Structure 1
């Protein structure tokens, strides 16, 4: 496992260098593009009879459980790092708006995508049960905070809009994971869960995750407050994240929500009252580096995963429609409410366009798709997920800055 980690780290470093030296795209997009390009070159060599390199890449990827690496490893660090720099006092002013988009918006999008895909796929000669279409809706509806936050910051969005997008993306993935878990249990058992079971699971995952995050954040804050040594304080935050996420998962609480809540507490109360200026400086540098490095590794993995995606016959013809469906669902679930109730959301006019187009999907969607039990349905869901994620990162990610300038800045000019 160590050798595999080293290989991916070296590949990521080389691709990041090539991107920053020659291509000059945002790092996450650049390394993903290079990784996909490398995979496509190996596909071409394979067709020419040189199959060794492609076989090695496939075996290397199969030795890595992408779903476990992200959901049980990277995600805790990335979510904590993202929440660490969100201003809690400003977030509180939008708590109801963010909560509505994260919960109601995710549910609405799940059902729009699920039912639309269920009726469209048969037109292309592809049939899968409705429950798997809803699973696809659940895993593709949440925006990925890992993909969203870095790109939106560089897009020049107004502070209030950036806060709304960041807050929604941090919380809606936790909601999406809970919905996905409920639907996956129904798909694997063959029985629809009853209302009491769903209510208990939601209370346990969501409520437990938030309460656990509050407790973890408070304990971490007290530990940081009691000493003044940046080495130990940085180590405490790292231990709190890795240990806290593992314990939350063991207790069947939502680890993602726990990390977001803990990150908000440490990043606000801890930064203001429990850290010296030196500690704040080193803590910020450490978590910024963790965020940048893990993001790069993650998007290299996503780019390389193209070699293990199995596209069923006829599926390619429906991919464009599925991509449009996910955008339409985002428009209905998030864009339309923001446009209609703009005074309630207190955002600049035109923000609905940015919120719709800036709803990027990323590694979390791919990881959830890979966690579905092996079978034809999994292959179809994974192929659709990968297509939407790739389109989201390359098309939306590269153009969201232009959307921000046209939708918002042009009105204020």
Structure 2
């Protein structure tokens, strides 16, 4: 039975990859975003008797999909560029997430009459922009530069803020509901924040530095590549094991490997020339495969979701709230930098707002919610709806918007 189950899983993977490659070829010919094409095809196949692939779960997203995507994105972030824009990036990542959470939760409580605990939980999981969707969108459009750095780096770093807010909100919601949980006090909140952020950073530093130092003892590019793979997945799993931020750990490991192993000067690099080339190519390929799987499965799950649980009016209202909350996070905070060297133009602010996509990360958090949470099923449904709108509507209109603003 085990061998048969493994064979079925392999067939599912090969089937998904075959579909993804056909979509990639068709999208290139039609000049359409590849990721959006995957969502559409996944949705169409889900409405047929054809088996699209494995069930989309929080474990699948967190353990297999996110690490290669995050690591590959972090590899491409050069520290000098990141350091130059670190102030606005951290401002949007932390304060922006807090403002967006407050706006979403307030709207759900006062306009849709959700319980405060459930409103806070949904606000926490949906307020952080998603690195998977954003990076895929910019790659589709071949968009680079300062604005790309701001949006991508914000999405990579705001997970730390979202993780602690989600943990606190969920703990409070369960304590105030029928589950009878424990409401954390200020000291517990501070300790949780320290564990999530510092734990994630620490694990990432150890994994990234370990991969680099171990690679110094060999000139074999395959060995160097293996160490980077261990760093990418190992940092995520180790951080999650100690209940720290797996995303922050993997991003940190990727930054270290990228800046000390790939983009440093040739005479100072700690990786071989062949290892650097192999690493860039391998992680680009791994990210492409991970993107192919996640967007196909998102489309399949969006198509079969029972939206009657919430209703069209509620779904439309939540989408509107999320967009309004993103505006609350972008425009006021951009004013803080208006008279500095970090000034952000109105056209760039519009891209920051409309380009703040939601995707796999929000889905993973929603799918991980315990069944005892009030409105748990409704939260999952509206999360899928927001993600679908984000990827399809916002993702499809971004090329037009970038061209209209003269940014592409």
Contact conserved, 1:354 with 1:407, CA < 8 A, in 2?
no
Secondary structure of the residue that 1:6 maps to in structure 2? helix
Which residue pairs with 2:35 in the alignment? 28
Which residue pairs with 1:361 in the alignment? 358
Secondary structure of the residue that 2:369 maps to in structure 1? coil
- Higher mean alpha-carbon deviation, 223-232 vs 286-295, is at 223-232
Give the TM-score taking structure 1 as reference length. Answer: 0.88
Q: Deviations over 1:122-159 (max 9, x none)?
A: 4xxxxx42111111111111111111012124435451
Shift of residue 343, structure 1, vs aligned partner: 4.3
Aligned residue runs from structure 1 range 222-371, under 5 A: 222-271=213-262, 272=264, 273-306=269-302, 309-312=305-308, 315-338=311-334, 341-344=337-340, 345-371=342-368
Contact conserved, 1:348 with 1:408, CA < 8 A, in 2?
no
Structure with the higher helix share, 1 or 2 = 1
C-alpha spacing 1:91/1:332, structure 2 compared with 1 (3 Å): same
- Aligned-pair RMSD on alpha carbons? 2.2
Secondary structure of the residue that 1:107 maps to in structure 2? helix
- Unmatched tracts of structure 2, length 5 or more: 177-181
Which residue pairs with 1:390 in the alignment? 388
Shift of residue 260, structure 1, vs aligned partner: 0.5
Q: Deviations over 1:210-261 (max 9, x none)?
A: 1221222222221122321101000111112222222222222211101111
Q: Does 1:109 align with 2:100?
A: yes
Contact conserved, 2:207 with 2:234, CA < 8 A, in 1?
no
Contact conserved, 1:209 with 1:248, CA < 8 A, in 2?
yes
1:172 to 135, 140, 158: 158
Give the TM-score taking structure 2 as reference length. Answer: 0.89
C-alpha spacing 1:396/1:26, structure 2 compared with 1 (3 Å): same
Which residue pairs with 1:403 in the alignment? 401
Q: How many Å separate the matches in 2 of 1:313 and 1:234?
A: 46
- Unmatched tracts of structure 1, length 5 or more: 43-52, 123-127
Structure 1 runs (4+) greater than 6 angstroms displaced: none
Secondary structure of the residue that 2:301 maps to in structure 1? helix
Shift of residue 308, structure 1, vs aligned partner: 5.2
Q: How many Å separate the matches in 2 of 1:384 and 1:314?
A: 7
Q: Does 1:15 align with 2:12?
A: no
Aligned residue-pair number: 389
Q: How many Å separate the matches in 1 of 2:109 and 2:402?
A: 33
Which residue pairs with 1:50 in the alignment? none
Q: Deviations over 1:77-105 (max 9, x none)?
A: 22111101111111011112111110111
